[in-house]
Structure 1
Amino acid sequence: MRRVVVIGTTGSGKSTLAERLAAQTGLRVIELDALFWGRDWQPVPLELFRHRVERETRGDGWIVVGNYGQVRDLVWPNADTVIWLDLPLPLVMWRLVRRTVQRAAAKTELWGTGNRESFRNAFLSRQSILLWALKTHRRNRERYANECMPLAKEKRVVRLQNKREVDRFVTMH
């Protein structure tokens, strides 16, 4: 396990899992959100995003965190392991609400971009990350099931469906 991709719906704990694995394995974490978002929540141009991802994933020893289809062709073929966090919606929403409230209250800057979560955007906006998680959870589960199955022939695919499985996986690596 030297080139790992961690996927899962918004709020499933991808970054947390990646950080825990990195602490155990010494692998470097690459947050796709950090490469994608510019100031004021503006996405960087696609060409720049792809260049950043390509640069960051050169060589060995990384954990890529994120679900961006725009760069899957750069990341997935080079990965030896795909970890799919397939957690139940109530757990995902609980974690996401807690994380969002903490970040908004602390005015935490995300990924060195100057971007911050706000209560207004989280709870009163059509771009709400909470609404996004509700709308995409089922669709992501179906999509990842279809996309991960064929990969199992050539890569290690790990589907983690509850906190106990996640904890067990981390302690084994």
Structure 2
Amino acid sequence: MPLLDSSTPPPDRPCRIIVAGTSGSGKTTLAARLGDALGIEHIEIDGLYHGPNWTPRPSFVADVEDFTAKPHWVTEWQYTVVRPLLTERADLMMWLDLPRSVVMRQLVHRTLRRRIRHEVLWNGNVEPPLHTVLTDRTHVIRWSWSRYALLPERIREVLQRRPELPIVRLTSRRDVERWTARLGPE
């Protein structure tokens, strides 16, 4: 199946959805919107992955195996260790392929807001001090910048492994709005 775009009508009631995109592209926001619109549980995968002090939770893979065995769910497509499982069990992939400038603007804004407000994220974690963007190679802003160009290749791999999986590529916020508006009420 070729890549689809925002003009493609949503499949009839997708049940297992993964949302792909670079850090800061809006994966979690879109996944939550899809869950609300379709009446499907949104599992925020970051909450399963990050334990206290940003350490990976030992139960992460088992937790993902458990929720993906269910008939209905929507989550973000990330973390190398579970991407194949998510891809295998999904019946729809949404790909947020937004311009790097848009992603970085959104990510910087989100990171600043979270840090200034000391927003508590998963398992008591908060964004690190802002200066760490200069010292920590894994800081989310640096991570997103360095990983941005890798996603198209990962999508090509999915197309090869699961050619029957519908992948809807959204390249702008307007595309996102246009596509999600077509979901309508249940």
Aligned partner (choices 26, 33, 39) of residue 26 of structure 1 = 39
TM-score with structure 2 length normalisation? 0.84
Residue number among 28, 35, 51 corresponding to 2:62 in the alignment: 51
Specify which of 91, 110, 120 is matched with residue 131 of structure 2. Answer: 120
Q: TM-score, normalised by structure 1?
A: 0.90
Pair 1:35 & 2:48 matched: yes
Match status 1:135 vs 2:135: no
CA distance in 1, matches of 2:175, 2:19: 15
Q: Does 1:63 align with 2:67?
A: no
Q: What amino acid does structure 1 have at the position aligned with 2:99?
A: P
Identify the match of residue 169 of structure 1 among 179, 182, 186: 179
Q: Gapped runs of 5+ residues in structure 1?
A: none
- Percent identical across equivalent pairs? 37
Aligned-partner residue type, residue 115 of structure 2? A
Partner SS for 1:139: helix
* CA distance, structure 2, for counterparts of residue 70 and residue 76 of structure 1: 12
Provide, for residues 109-159 of structure 1, a one-character-per-residue CA deviation record: whole Å limited to 9, x for no partner.
112x11100323345433221111111101223332x12323563221111
CA distance in 2, matches of 1:153, 1:127: 33
SS in 2 for 1:4: strand
Contact 1:100 1:122 in 2 (8 A): no
Give the partner amino acid of 1:6.
V
Partner in structure 1 of residue 3 of structure 2: none
Structure 1 residues 97 and 123: alpha-carbon distance in aligned structure 2, compared to 1, 3 A threshold: farther
1:77-156 matches, cutoff 5 A: 77-111=88-122, 113-118=123-128, 119-122=130-133, 124-144=135-155, 146-150=156-160, 153-156=163-166
Aligned residues: 169
* More strand, by proportion: 1
Structure with greater helix share of residues: 1
The structure whose RCO (Cα within 8 Å, separation 6+) is larger is 2
Q: CA RMSD in A?
A: 1.6
